[in-house]
Amino acid sequence: MDGRDPRTLRLFDLLPQEAVVVTCACGWITEYADGVLQRRHRVSSDTLIFDLQYRLRCNQCGRRRGFTIAIQDRRPVGTSSHRPEPVVIVAARE
């Protein structure tokens, strides 16, 4: 991350090794790698990641709100390293 406000990030701003991680309040978690949202859900590449909270629906419980949306670096790490914490774009709330 380059220090910009994460709420202004768009899907095309993500690096190939970054994934959008969506967590529902029911416990459902999914990761969308580079280009998956654009192909599978027909989301435009210039969509704000912040706005995904209004477009997604939980596959498990059908909920349309209460998601946590974060960006996770998916590069492989060695056994002595730890992945950086995900950058939370939207915190869960009811």
Q: Using one digit for the tens of pLDDT, what is the confidence trace for 9-54?
A: 999 999 999 999 999 999 999 999 988 999 988 999 999 999 999 9
Judge if pTM exceeds 0.75.
yes
Domain boundaries, given as residue ranges, for the chain: 16-76
Using alpha carbons only, give the angle 87, 8, 29 rounded to the nearest 5 degrees.
Answer: 40
Give the CA distances from residue 53 to residues 77, 80, 84, in Å, rounded to whole numbers and listed in that order.
29, 35, 23
Cα 18 to Cα 74: distance, rounded to the nearest angstrom: 6
